[in-house]
A and B are shown apart, each in its own frame.
Chain A
């Protein structure tokens, strides 16, 4: 398969964000990397369906999201995930210890309904606009907004963040956040 150089570069450049999205969705690094690989294979073998000039990253995110959802539906039939108990079994790569810092946040994310989780990540972390997120999730912009709001509220409750005097859930996250905003 001949892959256009510019296209290959653009696809590879999207990989770090695709991984971050996939890990946020699945809570599992190995599953996430398999998901990213499957996304790249799908994208490159169906590159004809990509409209040049449109947002390649959004297109890749759409593929990944759809793959995740179809896989999730399959798994759901196998093992019912009772309100975030899956979070207890989250696997982390030994070499990715830094992810442990965000364990509490990931556990809280895993308790969100999937629609809310993906909307929150797309808008709140990936940096997509509400309009782009609505396209990726194939729903109305208003729906994305309300999902993001509900997700934030629920996350605030889970993490017990809700007042000016309140602190981040743990010192590590707080330090990372402080460092990033400096």
Chain B
């Protein structure tokens, strides 16, 4: 696994978090929380978009007995 150690030009703060191997290298709670919040915000932003029509249409076409291939082709028509 590549480590940031030894790369030139890194800010000094990386010293505090560079140990990634053992349990002692874990980030502090606050940093973990911040990363978690940002990840979930990004993720939930997509989740909130719901189910685009192409997917409900796809399932309907499959149920009507159209083959997967034909469903695919129709999808790519302009």
Contacts and interface: CB of A to CB of B under 8 A. Distances in A.
Given A20-B43, A113-B1, A181 B55 contact: no
Nearest to B40: A125
Interface residues of B, number: 49
Interface string A1-26: 11100001001100111011101100
Interface SS of B by simple majority: helix
Contacts of B46: 16, 19-20, 23, 99
Interface in B46-68: 46-52, 54-56, 58-59, 62-63, 65, 68
A102 B46 CA distance: 11
Interface string A98-115: 110110011000000100
Contacts of A126: 43
A143 B6 CA distance: 25
Contacts of A156: 17, 27, 31, 35
A102 to B, nearest CB: 4
A177 interface: yes
A49 B35 CA distance: 36
Interface stretch (A51-59, A132-140, A160-168): A160-168
A173 B62 CA distance: 40
A129 interface: no
Interface string A144-182: 000001101111110111111010110001001100110
